[in-house]
Amino acid sequence: MAAAPDRFKDTGRAAPRRTVFGEVAEAYDDGRPGYAEELVTEVLEYAALGDRAALEVGAGTGKATGLFAARGVPVVCVEPDARMAEVLRRNTATYPHVEVVAGDFEAWSPGGRDFGLLYAATSWHWVDPVRRWDLAHSALGPGGTLALFWNPVAAIDPELFAALRDIDRRHGVEEPPHDALASRYGEEAGTVDGQVGPGWPVDEIRRDGRFTDLRTVRYRHNLRYDTARYLDFLASVSAYRVLPERHLRQLLLETGRLLDARGGAIDMLGINDLVLARTV
């Protein structure tokens, strides 16, 4: 059996890798998949915020921010990369109840505010693993909600999957976003082939002891990327951003030729995996 992909794992090089996305902030914004409206509904029903605000950790360009802001939720967004934060401000300009803070979550202070919800959309694995649970707990008031979610994608066509993996391996890519076939994903959140993926935070939350009412949910939906958008997506992924420039250019060229030869698009399974917990 193939190993489960490291969907949620801190690579050990979080400090440099978590800010490589800013080099291609526009491509990130154009190419990255978003999140299901059902996930937002689940989070807000669980949190029952009332008039309390939400805190978003690692907001990026606002793939999740806009969904919560559109529901009327006041959101404070902490984003470590100033270039990503600039795009985030543009994308949320119509929401006066969104505040964007450019800086590391580890250095940010809630300033005495108790947030009703702290959420992280495909970013929690970049936060310092030694401090993140303390930081989350200190930002949340009693009964506050922690919501962590990720959005992996998986290739549907086995032949295309194999061809993509061949390109990745020849250029030294580790942990590409399409490193598991869609058929390996079942119904249980955080799993591939029925096994929990590395870095899935449920066990850490349980061991911490300051959170309760743990809940996990998986949402599945179909995605179709044309060649240009898929290349934007890959160019925004840290596993590709850290490649030498000439390798990245050649990899994207070969991937583009492959997709164009197969109809100019790729069909993917989109996954949204959600963890919810409440402060004791």
Distances (CA, A) of 193 to 4, 45, 92, 182: 7, 30, 38, 10
User: Which tokens in the block code for residue 200?
Assistant: 């899935």
Residue 22's pLDDT is 62
Q: What CA–CA distance (Å, rounded) separates 158 from 102?
A: 41
Yes or no: say if 91 and 61 are a contact pair by the CB < 8 Å rule: yes
User: Which tokens in the block code for residue 12?
Assistant: 């050990």
Q: What CA–CA distance (Å, rounded) separates 172 from 186?
A: 29
User: Which tokens in the block code for residue 101?
Assistant: 């803070």
Of 178, 182, 269, the C-alpha closest to 220 is 269
Residue 82's pLDDT is 93
Of 74, 73, 132, 145, the C-alpha closest to 105 is 132
8-state DSSP, 5 = P
Q: What CA–CA distance (Å, rounded) separates 88 from 256?
A: 28
Yes or no: say if 271 and 182 are a contact pair by the CB < 8 Å rule: no
Residues 44, 48, 50, 56: is their CA dihedral positive or negative? negative
Yes or no: say if 188 and 212 are a contact pair by the CB < 8 Å rule: no
Of 171, 172, 154, 175, the C-alpha closest to 237 is 175
Pick the CATH number of 14-153+188-222+270-279 from 3.40.50.720, 3.90.1210.10, 3.40.50.150, 1.10.3720.10: 3.40.50.150
What is the helix (H) or strand (E) element at residue 221, kind and residue range?
strand 211-226
pLDDT by 10s per residue, the chain, length 280:
455 555 555 444 444 555 566 667 777 777 788 999 999 999 999 999 999 999 999 999 999 999 999 999 999 999 999 999 999 999 999 999 999 999 999 999 998 898 999 999 999 999 999 999 999 999 998 999 999 999 999 999 999 999 999 999 999 998 888 878 999 999 999 999 999 988 899 999 999 999 999 999 999 999 999 999 999 889 888 889 889 999 999 999 999 999 999 999 999 999 999 999 999 9
- φ, ψ of residue 219 to 5 degrees: the values are -115, 140
Yes or no: say if 145 and 47 are a contact pair by the CB < 8 Å rule: yes
Task: Give the number of residues written for the chain.
Answer: 280
Per-domain residue ranges of the chain: 14-153+188-222+270-279
